[in-house]
Amino acid sequence: MTQQVDLREFLDKNRISPMQKFIIFICLMIVVVDGIDISIMGFVAPVIKQEWGISTTDLAPVMSAALVGLALGAVISGPLADKFGRKILLVVNLLGFGIFTLLAALSSNVTELMIFRLIAGLFMGGVMPQAVTLVTDYSPMRVNGRLVTLILSGFTIGAAIGGFLAAWVIPHFNWHAMMIIGGTLPIILALIAWFKLPESIGYKVLKKHPKAEIDAIVHKMAPDFDTSNTEFVLPKAKTNTIHNPVKTVLSPFYVLGSFLLWWSYASGLFVVYLLGSWLPMMSHEFGFSISEASLITAIYQLGGPIGCLACGYLMDKLNPHIGLVIGYGIAIFFMFFIGEAGHNFMLYSGMCFFIGMWMNGANAGINSISSSFYPVFARATGNSWMHGIGRLGAVASAFAGAYFLSLGWPANKIFLILCLPTAGIMMALLVMKILYTPKKMQQRELDSAQI
């Protein structure tokens, strides 16, 4: 007699296997490369401006092109990943943004560069959401928060690596070489992912792939597990939209939670991107030298990876929503009182470190909440849509930062303003915790329902 085994319970009860660790490592490397590529334009822009004899205004469309592409790409890739698989979309996206980043190195004018960056952004937009989804599909829920925030810490690490690479590559070679590096790395990872990375086991169960394929993956995670008379199943949400993940994300049960996630992620990216882009100028106009302002921004970014691990720990040990509320609350504390640091470089940069630590860390943690919120058949769509809509906050931050500085506002006043959207995130997370209790989520499942 065939025995049904709940796949989620199987993952939660077993230790993390070497194969699962390999998946986490590859996804971490993918996000690191994503961070390198996103930061490339910021490093090559001054060189292109001088070489082509163009103004900063002329470069604006190029700087925003990738962000627009990221938003659109994330929204498009999610439903495709739920239909065709996480792995295939991840590989296609890696190849796409690698190829068009290489083509960008051949650009001879602003229009060509803008088009190539826009198309590269379309592919780039699907990379991070699919990496997060794949890690969640293989992670025990008890450590999912830590694992998701761990791989997302790779984005900040990648941005930092991009800075060190640019500091050496551009003076010794040129900006084209930086683009070539940024295009080659994702292509290498795409090849590794194609030959070595397994498809999501949850997706295979969902799509009723051959039992031999599912059992082969199970044996790599738990070699001693007897699969001869077993059939893996997944909990299924009580919805008639299983074949339409978009309808699931927007269904009556999930729509409010989706909106709260979009609001939270967009608000978080608004704060993080505004500070990442404008903190050097904010600090300089506040009274620090250009070199000090650069160091302050670097210190702010360095807090990100530590914050990802800290927030992941709080999420797993306390509660996902409460852990993030604490993280955002600490960030508000430092943003509110940073004006007290005055022009003391050590104190000011230290407070920026903690702001970067908790804002970046908590923002990464929202990905874990999103991954566990949606059922497996709509998980890629839910994650991708959150990323796509969230990018609107990043786009808005570019204009908001310029507007605040044009008003002559000092850095401490801008930090006070940024407390408002951060407080809005805390409220949204608390509302989500109240409305979507574990009991209510369990009621949305069919016990041992075969998919």
Q: DSSP assignment of 387-443, as one string?
A: HHHHHHHHHHHHHHHHHHHHTT--HHHHHHHHHHHHHHHHHHHHHHHHHS-HHHHHH
**pLDDT number for residue 3:** 82
Q: Do 28 and 193 form a contact (C-beta atoms < 8 A)?
A: no
**Distance between CA atoms of residues 278 and 73, nearest Å:** 25
Return the CA Rg of the chain: 22
C-beta of residue 144 within 8 angstroms of C-beta of residue 136: yes
Residue whose structure tokens are 């925003």: 64
Distance CA 442, CA 191 (A): 39
Q: Measured between alpha carbons, how far is 123 from 57 in angstroms, rounded to an integer? A: 26
Would the CATH topology of 3-206 be identical to that of 245-443? yes
Domain boundaries, the chain: 3-206, 245-443
Identify the pLDDT of residue 448.
32
Q: Are 41 and 117 in contact (CB under 8 A)?
A: yes
Please give the single-letter amino acid code of residue 262: W
What's the rounded Cα separation, in Å, for the pair 413 and 402?
14
Q: For the domain bounded by 3-206, which CATH number is listed? A: 1.20.1250.20
pLDDT of the chain, 451 residues: tens digit per residue: 678 888 888 888 888 899 999 999 999 999 999 888 877 776 677 778 788 887 766 776 777 787 788 888 888 888 888 888 889 999 999 999 899 999 999 988 889 999 998 999 899 888 888 888 888 888 888 887 788 888 888 887 887 777 677 778 888 888 899 899 999 999 999 999 999 999 988 888 888 888 888 889 988 888 888 888 888 887 655 455 556 778 888 888 888 999 999 999 999 999 988 887 778 778 877 888 766 776 787 788 788 888 988 988 898 888 889 999 999 999 999 999 988 888 888 999 899 999 999 999 999 889 888 888 888 778 878 888 898 888 888 878 877 887 887 788 888 899 999 999 999 999 999 999 998 876 666 555 543 334 3
Q: In CATH, what class is 245-443?
A: mainly alpha
| Three-state secondary structure call for residue 43 | helix
Tokens of 368: 């874990």
Please state the pTM of the whole predicted model: 0.75
Q: Which of 193, 41, 68 is nearest to 122 (CA)?
A: 68
